Amino acid sequence: MNNTKKDIFIILIIALFLLLIGVSYAFFTATITGRETTSTIVLSGGQMLIHYDNNSGEIIAENIYPREETWVTKSFTVTGTNTTDLKMKYKVGLDISSNTFPDGYLTYSLENTQADSGTPLPDKENKPIYGTGSLWFGEGLFVTGSNQVHAYTLNIYFKDTGLNQNDAQGASFAAKVAIVDNGTGELGKNITIDLGNQYTYTINHDPCIELFENQWNGGEELSDPNAIAMAEGLCTTGEFTDEYDTYTLEEALRNINITEEEAETEGIITITGSVPRTEPYAGFEYTDGPYIYRYKQAADNYRGEQNWDNFEEDGWGVVLTDSFNGTNLHANDDLVPASYINGKPIMYMNYMFSMCGNSQGICDYLNRIDFSQFDTSHVVSMERMFYSSVADSLDLSDFDTTNLENTVAMFVSADISSINLSNFIIKEPSTMFTNSTVEKIKFTNDKF
């Protein structure tokens, strides 16, 4: 009798366990759908043929639930025939038409399985899928040659996090593999911008002096000897030299946000000619999506006040715009900064994501960024790059730090659960994590 009661008790426990499991996972009826067909991209210098091993790039899975195994596996090849001496680029990603999964629940991996020549996309592992729109995995290129094959396998996961994932009940996801032409040239996001005109002009002395009196002394006549000397130099010869540097009238006008056209309208100068500018000037500013770039200037956003410091190298500094919150951006492509602007590299990433995610910050999407797509091969400084920022984790293992010299206070006052710095050449370890809250750091011993 006792044994029978024991058996009944054990059966009840098992039944209760199964019931609880059923309660946790039975309702997962999420679906993944979408379609893409075999296609060819025709370029002026050749063509790229796209082939899906199962005859389509369709992504479909029904009634999915959290598990470690993949739910979707897609294999495809990109075959390039390049008849020019140029490098023919393409990019691969997902065109996501709908996605109601909570951010980061779906992840993907991409493996390059064949590369006859050229440069294929780098492998990706456990990368999150967010929102809708275009999610680009990266870019590859073909050099001169015929029928060059790049083959890939894409896996999509809905992994069990060990936490309550009931908020994915009934979630749906629709997407298709997207492969598009990405121009010619070196890999990376290369931007060409209009630099405007460079003017020749004559200076109207008295209106010029009056301008600086208004700017520097409230409209009163200048009395400080240094200010008088500087204004006279700028308004007579167009430049002033002191013991530190030489300043031009053009620079002085830019510092008070007056263009040459506006200066002519106000009678300060008379423009006599113009030619298209071929080189940016120090402080030339360009905004693209969430980022501000300045030529030969690095951001200095300490305490949230945006300032810029000059540097000598022939490149650009980059930082988030001071009013950007990322609300309308979901595509990785939008969050990848430029590699080059007008052929000049990005070199300074100081304060780039400072205060992101904290209560005073201007952005909340650090976890969405695929940092493996950042081109940091020419970056020399990442000082305070993540100053006072907040994130669950950062994977910076793909950063090329060959030329990186300055990592002072890179994560100062940051609150980040884990940071992957594998392959990161660390130059200032003693100050990188000052006052930060970081639970786990992964790095390679011989790079420290």
CA atoms within 13 A on the CB side of 230: 20
- Can you tell me the distance from the alpha carbon of 194 to that of 173, in angstroms, rounded to the nearest whole number? 40
User: What is the dihedral sign for C-alpha 32, 37, 41, 46?
Assistant: positive
Q: DSSP label at 14?
A: H
- Can you tell me the distance from the alpha carbon of 116 to that of 95, in angstroms, rounded to the nearest whole number? 27
User: pLDDT of 5-35, one tens digit each?
Assistant: 444 333 333 233 222 322 333 333 344 444 4
- Can you tell me the distance from the alpha carbon of 310 to that of 200, in angstroms, rounded to the nearest whole number? 25
Q: What local confidence, expressed as pLDDT, does residue 57 receive? A: 55
User: pLDDT of 283-293, one tens digit each?
Assistant: 999 998 889 99
Q: What local confidence, expressed as pLDDT, does residue 83 receive? A: 82
Say if residues 404 and 427 touch (Cβ distance below 8 Å).
Answer: yes
Q: What local confidence, expressed as pLDDT, does residue 294 receive? A: 95
Q: What local confidence, expressed as pLDDT, does residue 334 receive? A: 67
Element (H, E) at 89: strand 88-99
Say if residues 376 and 399 touch (Cβ distance below 8 Å).
Answer: yes
The 10 Å CB-count burial string (b at 16+, else e) for 360-380 is: ebbbebbbbbbbbbbbbebbb
| Strand residues in 100-222 grouped as ranges (E) | 106-115, 124-128, 133-142, 145-158, 172-184, 190-191, 197-203
172-184 and 30-33 as β-strands: parallel, antiparallel, unpaired?
Answer: parallel
For the chain, which residues score pLDDT lower than 50?
Answer: 1-2, 4-35, 37-44, 323-331, 448
Query: In the chain, where are the structural domains located?
Result: 26-187, 197-276, 285-447
Q: What local confidence, expressed as pLDDT, does residue 305 receive? A: 63
Q: What local confidence, expressed as pLDDT, does residue 85 receive? A: 83
Instruction: Read off the tokens for 148.
Output: 């060059």
- Look up the pTM and report it: 0.70
CA-only gyration radius of the chain, Å: 28
Q: Which amino acid is at 177?
A: V
Nearest CA to 363 out of 323, 393, 415 is that of 323
Q: What local confidence, expressed as pLDDT, does residue 261 receive? A: 92
Q: What local confidence, expressed as pLDDT, does residue 20 receive? A: 30
Size (the chain), residues: 448
